[in-house]
Amino acid sequence: MKIRRDVEQEKNELNMTSMIDIVFLLLVFFVMTFKIVEMEGDFSINMPLAGSGSSSDDLELPLKLRLRADGEGKLTSISLDSINLGTDYDKLRGQIIEVIRNDGPDSDVSERKIEVDTDYNLRYEYVIRAITAVNGYRDENDQVVPLISNITFAKPRR
């Protein structure tokens, strides 16, 4: 026997509209706040301590790289151990290779040192190009050839 009920049962349903709205809001939030960051090179850079005098490591640096800037922060000259190289980073890399070649094949990459001396208003992009030029290069077989890994900075000149 079938029992009839006078009141029909109410259906319990979830309201999916509000859930979909929240999902789209979260999606838009994460898409708008996502920032793509380029990977930077791995540079071993020793920055000078504030107010420190010269240490024993700073006294015997074999190479000094001087980067000069004009009033607008543009690179005007590159010199390596008082050899003027103009503004050509390829000449800088070639001079570094020549110096390393004169050191001999047994010289260790970690023992090679260079001090970068820049003008205060020099743009950052020129400093990074110089560091890239002295740090290493890719040969014809696409192999990385390390040049100098120990890079220190002198106090910027005003």
How confident is the model over 49-88, as pLDDT tens digits?
A: 666 555 444 444 468 899 999 989 899 999 988 888 988 8
CA distances from 155 to 7, 32, 81 (A): 87, 40, 17
Strand order in the sheet with 75-80: 45-46, 150-153, 113-118, 63-69, 75-80, 83-84
Predicted pLDDT of residue 57? 45
Tell me, what's the pLDDT at 153?
86
**Residue-level pLDDT at 28:** 95
pLDDT at 106: 61
Query: How many C-beta atoms surround the C-beta of residue 43 within 10 A?
Result: 11
Between CA 32 and CA 35 the distance in angstroms is 8
The pLDDT value given to residue 37: 74
Pick the CATH number of 61-153 from 3.30.470.20, 3.20.20.70, 3.30.70.330, 3.30.420.270: 3.30.420.270
User: What tens digit of pLDDT does each residue of 12-45 get?
Assistant: 777 889 899 999 999 999 999 988 876 666 666 6
**Model confidence pTM above 0.75:** no
pLDDT at 42: 63
Do 130 and 114 meet the contact criterion of CB atoms below 8 Å apart? no
DSSP line for 80-141: ETTEE-TT-HHHHHHHHHHHHHHH-TT--GGG-EEEEEEBTT--HHHHHHHHHHHHEEE-TT
In the chain, the amino acid numbered 63 is: L
What value does the mean pLDDT of the chain take? 80
pLDDT (0 to 100) of residue 56: 46
Task: Between 112 and 134, name the one with better pLDDT.
Answer: 134
Domain boundaries, the chain: 61-153
